[in-house]
Each structure stands twice: as C-alpha cells, then as structure tokens.
Amino acid sequence: MTIELFKQDFKLYASAHQSHLDYRVEVPAGVQQLKVLFDYQPLLETKLEALERAFLKEGLPAELAQDQDGFRNLLTITIQDNQGFRGAHHYFNTQQEIILAPDQASLGFRPDPIDAGLWTFTISCHGLFSDFVTGSLRVLADFSFDQAKSQPQPLTSVVPLARPAKNRPLSDPQARFYKTELHSHTLHSDAQQSTEYLLQQAQEQGIDWLAITDHNTTTAHDEAAAHQNYDTQVHLIPGMEYTSFHGHMLIHGPYNDIVRNWTELNPYNIDQITEELQAQGLNVTVAHPFVEGNPYCTGCRWDYLLHDLKYVDTLEVWNRQNPNNYAYNQAGFAKWLDFLAMGYEINASTGRDWHTPAASEDQLAYTYVLAPQEADLDQILQALKLGRTYISLGPLIATCILDGKYQLGDRVPLKQDSYNLLVIINELQAADKVLIYGRQNLLKEIHCHQAGSFEIKETLQLEQESLLRIEVRDQAGKLKLFTNPIYIG
C-alpha cells in the first residue's frame, strides 16, 4: 500500500536565491520505502534583465550580462531522518526521483532503515536567477500493512511498566485550600478576552491562583507582569499549552523553564519529551484527552501513545464549564480511575479551558490546592505535582484528614489496625451523598439530610487498599466533587 505523506507545489521568486526551505514531514512506523518526487522549471534563464539582476546582486556591473548568456537555476533536495543527515544529490536535474529503503538508495543517499519520526526535506536554492521558479515536492511511503487500521486509541495502550511510588513529604498541618484555575487563554492565542479582562474576572470569582496557558506562547504573562497584574490580587502560575498535531499538554512551572518549541513534539519522541520536562521539575498535564479530535478540533484529542505514565503528573479529566454535560469528561474520569486501579499515582484536575466569559447559568468547576498559609509559587507547584487537590462544582472541603495528620496527596504507613477519617464539607445540598472509595471498592456511602456543613467521622479497615479518595454526588448521581487520593503503604 502506498500513501502520499506530503505534497507541496511551490513558486519561488528571485529573492529566494541562496535560501533553504525546510519541510518537516511525519514518517509513520511500518514504512518499507520512501519515494521523493521533486521537479522545478525552468532550468535555464536567458532573459537579459534577469542576468543583469544576478550581476548587480553580486556587486558586479550589469553590463557584464550579454544576450547570448544564460544561467541555470539550481535547486537540490537534502534529506534528514530523525537520526540525522541522510543524504543529498547536488546536480542539475529538474525531474528527480529519490528512493530510500533499508537495502537501496538513490545516488547521494544512504540505504538505512526507514525510522519513524519527523523527517526534514530541504529545498536548497543554490541559484535562482529567473523571476520565479515553479515546482513541486512529493513524499510517498510504501507500507507492508494497512496503516490506517493500526492507529492506537488515546491513552488505551499504556504499557503497565514499573510504577515507582512518589516521594511524598508530609503535608503542612496548618495548610489551607486555594481556589485555582489551571487552564485559561487570552488574546495572545485564540481567546476572546484580554489579559486584563481575564484577571479581573478571576478576581471577581475569588480565584487565588490563575494559570494562563495560551497555546504555544507565554507573552500574556509578560503583559500581566508589565502592568502589575492589572491591580488584582490574583496570583499567576506560569503556564503554556503545548498545542501539537496529536494532543495538548498543559505545562506549569517557573516562567523561564516552560517555554519550548512545540513543533519538536511527535508520536515517536513523546516519552522522551515528557521525561525531559519532568527532569526540569515542570508539571505535566494531559489536557482534555478524550475531546473530539480531527477533523472537528485538529490536534485536540490525545492521540499520542504513552508507553508509561511516570512522566505525566496529571490528567485533565474535567474540561470546560458544565463538565458533567460532556461524554469526553466522563471518559476522562473513568480512565483516571483505571490508572489508579493499575497502581499509577497520577492526579486528576479540572480546567475550564477559559476562552470566553462565562454565562450566568454556567456551572464552573475549580481545582482547590492544599498548600501552606501564604503559599508561594513553588509551594503551589509542589502541591499540584503531589495531587494535594480536590475538584468541585460547589461543595467545599474544610478538612480531610486520616489518622489526625495525613491529608490529600500524603502517604499513610500501612498498618493492621483501623484508620480514623475526619471529613468536613461545606455548602452541601440536602440529598447529596458522600462516597468514600478505596482503590476500586466503595467503602462507605453517607447521605446528607440537610443543606450546609457536614462532618464525617469514620473508622475504616484499609489493609487491603492502596489509596482512599472521596466523591460527592447529587441526588441524580451527578458528580459534584472528587478528591485526589491519600495513598496507603
């Protein structure tokens, strides 16, 4: 089976003389042979005005051009695979066919395996003397199988490799929860709101910490800093949404570390990239993994195959306002529970993906971060990385503590005796129910009989469990609040 991976018709003007045009093309796995077809015209330029221009460009007298003269346009192709230089053929030929395969290659190129990844095909304009040159570049791939049927589903092919437990220092006993929005946009990318308006709206909503995560840029943070965050009390978390062809990642961390060239991301280096981001101490979140993808929202769905999740901190399991209204959020929440059951210590978060002002009837979810009193950015980032958070559409956790000192994101030593859980939740509605879960099992279901604050004191046997987490659901069973786990053992 042959598939056209790339085609570009071009028209290059004389000003492109001695320039390079790079085309980066994703070469999938399973390719047996690449065929590159390259053509351009004209080869020979004899027009006197063009010849005079060529001499003048070199600082030479135009009178050197003679009617009988002619210069040849010279365009060549250079190819690099994801390992480096693959070859080039420097010669005058306006109709070129280049074959690349493990056991054969055209002159000037190496016969090596066709590795999957981003390849670079460079048109080099050694000499462009005509007013313009037209041509085309095509890249064709021969496969040994039906490539269209071999694509993995998002986040379903994670290989259950070693899952080392995270180091979890004990949380501050005096810590409090901060109302946080982790996913927002401004006019610096594709939102319909200015940076100033976003900050003002965040302050009106009582948000303590706001991450501006524009697509592939951080310049909104520069604007906010230049205007003293527009006189709001909202603290900023530096962020950027790496917006690639195959999925989006939210990156939170120190401002000078989060900027990266997003075009480096491809299906064959995603594990390497996430490992590098983790090595920098950045927080890595897979954004809206199950949202509609191509062609409805190009690149929005997570189509990368992650071989392990140890370099990903968080799944954004709720996205947008009114999160219960979207099936892709239900799929994201279910996938997070699957990963917890597999033994991955991965966090869940919500992000409004805030592009436009909220409507008055919208239900807005926030991430609430447990961090020390008067927390600074580093403490907020550490709390996010450790999952010291809960997500809520309204109810507010005042206390969630196990055995008097272990809070969300902590690790409790395993013991044979029972554990004592204290939970205080405010702003509950009558008929809400609080659900206490282990890794997979429902341990306790408690019904609220009146609105307001609710205190839960439970003695639990957890020797068969690896974590404990809490949900709040309304009378109809819709999710209103969920916590990240307290880990056991």
Q: What is the pLDDT of residues 38-58, one digit of tens each?
A: 999 999 999 999 999 999 999
Distance CA 74, CA 436 (A): 72
Taken in order 378, 320, 293, 337, the sign of the CA dihedral is positive
* Residue 338 CB contacts under 8 Å (≥ 6 apart), including other chains: none
- Joined together, the tokens standing for residue 398 give 């005042």
Buried b (16+ CB within 10 A) or exposed e, 313-326: bbbbbbbbbbbbeb
Max Cα distance, the chain (Å): 100
Neighbours of 233 (CB within 10 A): 11
Indicate the length of the chain as a whole number: 489
Distance CA 50, CA 377 (A): 61
One-letter amino acid at 122 equals T
The reported pLDDT for the residue numbered 56 is 94
The reported pLDDT for the residue numbered 148 is 45
Distance CA 330, CA 190 (A): 26
Helices (H) and strands (E) in the chain, counts: 7, 28
Asked if domains 2-149 and 176-393 share a fold, the reply is no
One-letter amino acid at 443 equals L
Residue 195 burial class via C-beta count within 10 angstroms: exposed 0-12, middle 13-18, buried 19 and up: buried
The reported pLDDT for the residue numbered 162 is 59
What CATH number is given for 2-149 in this structure?
2.60.120.380
Alpha helices by DSSP H, listed for 287-397, are 327-342, 377-386
CA distances from 349 to 93, 250, 392, 479 (A): 57, 11, 10, 14
The reported pLDDT for the residue numbered 307 is 80
Tell me which residue of 225, 305, 302, 218 sits closest to 260, measured CA to CA.
218
Taken in order 458, 463, 464, 468, the sign of the CA dihedral is positive
Tell me which residue of 364, 371, 357 sits closest to 393, measured CA to CA.
364
Residue carrying the six token digits 């279901």: 445
Residue 271 near residue 306, CB atoms below 8 Å: yes
CA distances from 386 to 132, 137, 166, 183, 371 (A): 58, 49, 8, 18, 11
- Joined together, the tokens standing for residue 332 give 């994201």
The reported pLDDT for the residue numbered 296 is 86
Neighbours of 66 (CB within 10 A): 9
Element (H, E) at 132: strand 132-143
Distance CA 208, CA 217 (A): 23
Rg (CA), the chain: 29
CATH 2.60.40.10 given to domain 176-393:
no
Q: So where are the chain's domains?
A: 2-149, 176-393
- Joined together, the tokens standing for residue 168 give 């979890």
Does the bond joining 238 to the residue before it have cis omega, within 30 degrees of 0?
Answer: no
Distance CA 284, CA 346 (A): 11
How much is the mean pLDDT over the chain? Answer: 94
Running DSSP on this structure, what letter comes out for residue 354?
Answer: B
Per-residue pLDDT of the chain (489 residues; tens, 9 = 90+): 899 999 999 999 999 999 999 999 999 989 999 999 999 999 999 999 999 999 999 999 999 999 889 999 999 999 999 899 999 999 999 999 999 999 999 999 999 999 999 999 999 999 999 999 999 999 999 997 655 445 556 676 665 555 678 899 999 999 999 999 999 999 999 999 999 999 999 999 999 999 999 999 999 999 999 998 888 999 999 999 999 999 999 999 999 999 999 999 988 899 999 999 999 999 999 999 999 988 888 899 999 988 878 899 999 999 999 999 999 999 999 999 999 998 999 999 999 999 999 999 999 999 999 999 999 999 999 999 999 999 999 999 999 999 999 999 999 999 888 999 999 999 999 999 999 999 999 999 999 989 999 999 999 999 899 999 999 999 999 999 999 999 999
Could you tell me the end-to-end alpha-carbon distance of the chain, in angstroms, rounded to an integer?
52
Whether this prediction's pTM lies above 0.85 is answered by: yes
**What are the strands of the beta sheet with 20-27, ordered from one edge?**
20-27, 117-127, 74-81, 84-88
Tell me which residue of 337, 347, 335 sits closest to 301, measured CA to CA.
335
